[in-house]
Chains A and B, each alone.
Chain A
Amino acid sequence: MDFFDRFAVPHPSLAIYASMAAIGLTIIAVIAGLTYFKKWGYLWREWLTTVDHKRIGIMYLLSALLMLFRGGVDAIMMRAQLAVPENTLLDAQHYNEIFTTHGIVMILFMAMPFIMFFMNFVVPLQIGARDVAFPRLNALSFWLFFMGAMLFNISFVVGGSPDAGWTSYFPLAGTEFSESVGNNYYMIAIQIAGIGTLMTGINFITTILKMRAPGMTLMKMPMFTWSALIANVIIVFAFPVLAVLLAMGTLDRQFGTHFFTMDNGGMDMLWANIFWVWGHPEVYILILPAFGIYSEVISTFARRNLYGYKSMVGSMVIISLLSFLVWAHHFFTMGQGAFTNSIFSITTMAIAVPTGVKIFNWLLTLRKGKIVFTTPMLYSMLFIPLFTLGGVTGVMLAMSAADYQYHNTMFLVAHFHNVIIPGVVYAMLAGLHYYWPKMFGFMLNEKIGKWTAWLLSIGFILAFMPMYVSGLDGQARRMYTYSEAAGFGLMNMISFVGAAIMAIGFVLIVYNIYYSTRYESRDISNDPWDARTLEWSTHTPVPEYNFAILPDVRSNEALWDAKKNGHVLFKGEYQKIHMPNNSGIPFIMSCIFFVWGFSFVFSLWIPVILTTIGIFVCMALRSFEQDHGRYISVKEIEETETNLRGA
């Protein structure tokens, strides 16, 4: 039985067979479509081998939207299961797999790539650079992330999904209690994606520090770039921790070590400690760039400079430091004693201060402004009250003695969705609507956009406020069902209705993209929002080299300065521009990584060895390669520029 049984799903159900069929059909359809329309060459040349940060950004965006729907379907299934007591829609095992994969997919394969999309697409444009510091590494980062995500997603149909929660606490996640390969997928898939993320971190720190346009000192960087810089610094400190943690988990599960086992000297809470040393900073990796997006959007549509630029930067720096000092608030109830809990309680609450500073800065940015309610602005204005609510419940959770009552309950689930949805997801949607014209040369429909924002918010309130109540009423998180007598029925039903409304909201986003692609005007300027920062100073669509002449920057709102004070951004003659060549190696190497990961999950050591060699061969090839990129001639630039200006 052994060999083939391991590839089978341990608890197959109709949903799994349906997904198998769907995945199979999609793959066939994609292959057939590409062949029929003769698009293989196009796909390869323009996308799979691209090293252009804008295209890589767009690929991150596509992956993130795809995963948003995967995670969203999980969410709606969970809410449907809990809508009434003693429901039998899902069984315990299935529910456990769903909340586990929902959490991982949403955090690591949806929110992270969304942030990566913004960093890739916006940062180089915003700092007036032509590319990132290491374009090829950037492509490799994306493809590693992508392969990690795909590997994680096939767990649903091959071998079994992880089921020990997104936190994957040992010993539950060890082989003793989780026999299927599900948690191997967790370890390996996240490891592969995480390596990609770490490389992105290094890449963007270098980019931001080294490639700013002339005149752009650190304190003249736009706020989003600042937030990206700090998030990347956190990545560089936090992700190695994750890599080590996952490696230790892999050793325990597949090589019989005893880091986290119950006996032989294993320490179960060691996993929790290391996990949260990475896990808490991780949430700031998501929220800081979101804050950056809000800063851009709010000052653009308040038609005013951002209030308190320096304190905005300062508060982010402080948040990034504190984010590493609070991890134990995730297990106040571990029995570490009153003294330790007090320390972590205080450091956690301290984060509320710099966060509060940011909220007040945004509010004061509105003051004396001339506020225009566009869709991105609407998201930002819904963000402020909703996120404040999530923030204050965070402070409540930080009071450790009280947390003994909140811990592991729906109150906690309500809290973190309350910060992550208005905080991160709304920022992503605000940014999506904001940057869409720069990416694709047309606007998303404003009316549908506003409808979506309101629907999502109403759905959000209905879906998550009841959880605060049911949490205080004793409903633990991660329960696949509850008895009638428990009395949680009403709250969970309201939650389900809210989740359904949110689902409609998310479908509307897709509809908006479809509708706008067909009907919105292509006749928009380079700067349709009358914005303030450099990314809006170049053409739409953005030429490959971003800026024909590097801008001359005088303030953190370079474009606004140019518009209001008549400062000339682009001075001088065209010169030939050096650009990197496309390369197939990042993609091919990541494909090999995928096979490596898959073989590792199933402990197929011969393929593991072969693919390991393959990976090293790719690296060796690269080191012998004599690729110095290419030049775009002045003539070519002139042609492109006249074309773009004409359009």
Chain B
Amino acid sequence: MHKKGINVALFSVFLTIITLLAGCEPLLVLDPKGPQAERQASDILLSIGVMSVIVLVVFALLVYMLVKYRASKQRADYEPPHIEGNLWVEVVMVGIPVIIVAFLSYVSVQSNYIVEAKPKGYEDKEPLVVYASSSNWKWHFSYPEEGIETVNYLYIPTDRPLEFKLYSYGPITSFWIPQLGGQKYAMGDHVTTLHLAADVPGEFMGRNANFSGKGFAENTFNVTAMSQEDFDDWVKEVKETAKPITEKKFEELLEPGHLGQQTYTGTHLEFSPAPAGHDHSEESSETPETETQTESHTGHEGMSH
């Protein structure tokens, strides 16, 4: 308990420093609005804490050595001794880092399974599946369940887990909404899955984080989280007012360039389905157990695709 107290104290100190540095607004990544981003933020703060201790120890040792052993402080005839090394010193030198690394590895492995699974606290809820595909330099969001599609903006309900199916019509991109959770690649030859959830309503920044050419800097989208009722209202409104997406229209949208926000009924998945290939998306939203999901993810190792 005591240790935890120290850690918490350390974290808050760093949080304040970082916050102050950022001009009093919390940094996006450290201002999570969903369980995945929360886990990541707490890992980040934990590692900042542990790492600061290491840095402080090294700094202190260095200053000590430099103050104590500088030539100007010593007798002119002092001859430094020849010292090869010392088994015990070296055991400590290896042992402590091993313990630290083991601890961080333990945390890291746990977090890996957490961020790859359905968000904590949302396990028993049916996820909203959104296909997010990128083209130069836009984002297309298809809601197959609702039968609608948007360009460059995203409306999401707060009380449901979100399951993003990512792929690309161009170079590799990376789908990132810092306040909801870390990013994942969208590639041309298969679909990747990213599990997120928003705890509270709000507006969030989303962008492609992976360099994709000239229009990359503006390759962003807006995310708005709202209650399920508001979300349903929005869907209804879209269905009533928006034009359907046609194959021709979609081809036009794929042309390189920037567009504002757009809304359509229907989805492009009907005539331009997501890439099949060696994909991660076979287990779709219906599979609630995280076990099967992580297993099929592991299949996608290294060069195998």
What is A's interface to B at a CB cutoff of 8 Å? 92-93, 96, 163-165, 169, 171-172, 177-178, 262-263, 266-270, 273-274, 302-305, 307-311, 328, 331, 333-342, 345-346, 349-350, 352-353, 356-357, 359-361, 363-364, 366-373, 381, 384-385, 388-389, 392-393, 395-396, 398-409, 466, 469, 472-474, 476-482, 486-487, 490-491
B89 near A336: Cβ-Cβ < 8 Å: no
Q: Can you identify 29 A-B contacts, CB atoms within 8 angstroms? A: A96-B216, A169-B210, A172-B212, A177-B136, A270-B303, A270-B305, A303-B71, A305-B83, A305-B84, A311-B93, A328-B302, A331-B185, A333-B182, A335-B185, A335-B193, A337-B294, A345-B109, A345-B112, A349-B104, A400-B108, A401-B111, A403-B182, A404-B40, A408-B183, A469-B22, A472-B29, A473-B22, A474-B207, A487-B22
| A interface secondary structure, majority | helix
Give the distance to chain A from B16, nearest Cβ to Cβ, in Å: 13
Q: Pick from B54-62, B126-134, B148-156, B241-249 the stretch touching chain A.
A: B54-62
A369-B209 contact in complex given A169-B172, A363-B61, C-beta closer than 8 Å: no
Give the distance to chain A from B93, nearest Cβ to Cβ, in Å: 5
The verdict on B9 contacting chain A, using a C-beta distance below 8 Å, is no
Q: Pick from B43-51, B231-239, B259-267 the stretch touching chain A.
A: B43-51
A171 near B171: Cβ-Cβ < 8 Å: yes
The verdict on B253 contacting chain A, using a C-beta distance below 8 Å, is no
Name which residue of chain A comes closest to B209, CB basis. Answer: A408
The verdict on B12 contacting chain A, using a C-beta distance below 8 Å, is no
The verdict on B25 contacting chain A, using a C-beta distance below 8 Å, is yes
Number of B residues whose C-beta is below 8 Å from A?
97
B294 near A481: Cβ-Cβ < 8 Å: no
Inter-chain contacts of A96 with B (CB < 8 A): 211, 213-214, 216
B213 near A388: Cβ-Cβ < 8 Å: no
The verdict on B27 contacting chain A, using a C-beta distance below 8 Å, is yes
How many A-B pairs with Cβ below 8 Å? 311
A172-B44 contact in complex given A339-B298, A381-B66, A476-B207, C-beta closer than 8 Å: no
Inter-chain contacts of B41 with A (CB < 8 A): 405
* CA of A171 to CA of B147, assembled, Å: 31
Give the distance to chain A from B33, nearest Cβ to Cβ, in Å: 13
Inter-chain contacts of B101 with A (CB < 8 A): 349-350, 352-353, 395
Inter-chain contacts of B58 with A (CB < 8 A): 359, 363, 384-385, 388
* CA of A353 to CA of B90, assembled, Å: 12
A262 near B174: Cβ-Cβ < 8 Å: no
Interface residue from B48, B192, B205 paired with A335 (Cβ < 8 Å)? B192
Inter-chain contacts of B47 with A (CB < 8 A): 395-396, 399, 402
The verdict on B114 contacting chain A, using a C-beta distance below 8 Å, is yes
Inter-chain contacts of B59 with A (CB < 8 A): 385, 388
Name which residue of chain B comes closest to A494, CB basis. Answer: B21
A407 near B43: Cβ-Cβ < 8 Å: no
A335-B89 contact in complex given A402-B43, A472-B30, A478-B216, C-beta closer than 8 Å: no
Nearest 8 CB-CB pairings of A with B = A404-B182, A337-B297, A335-B192, A401-B111, A172-B171, A392-B51, A262-B188, A366-B65
* CA of A163 to CA of B299, assembled, Å: 33
Give the distance to chain B from A348, nearest Cβ to Cβ, in Å: 10
A366 near B112: Cβ-Cβ < 8 Å: no
* CA of A384 to CA of B66, assembled, Å: 12
A171 near B172: Cβ-Cβ < 8 Å: yes
* CA of A354 to CA of B81, assembled, Å: 25
Inter-chain contacts of B70 with A (CB < 8 A): 370-373
Inter-chain contacts of B94 with A (CB < 8 A): 353, 357
Interface residue from A172, A367, A369, A403 paired with B172 (Cβ < 8 Å)? A172
Inter-chain contacts of A310 with B (CB < 8 A): 85
The verdict on B119 contacting chain A, using a C-beta distance below 8 Å, is no
Give the distance to chain B from A296, nearest Cβ to Cβ, in Å: 16
Give the distance to chain B from A49, nearest Cβ to Cβ, in Å: 43
The verdict on B74 contacting chain A, using a C-beta distance below 8 Å, is yes
* CA of A337 to CA of B37, assembled, Å: 18
Inter-chain contacts of A400 with B (CB < 8 A): 108, 111-112
* CA of A389 to CA of B178, assembled, Å: 24
* CA of A268 to CA of B190, assembled, Å: 10
Residues 269 to 292 of chain B near chain A (Cβ within 8 Å):
280
The verdict on B97 contacting chain A, using a C-beta distance below 8 Å, is yes
Inter-chain contacts of B192 with A (CB < 8 A): 334-335
A349 near B172: Cβ-Cβ < 8 Å: no
The verdict on B202 contacting chain A, using a C-beta distance below 8 Å, is no
Q: Known A-B contacts: A309-B85, A367-B65, A398-B108. Give 14 more (CB < 8 A).
A: A172-B170, A262-B170, A336-B301, A342-B112, A356-B93, A366-B66, A366-B69, A367-B69, A385-B59, A401-B111, A401-B115, A402-B40, A407-B209, A480-B216
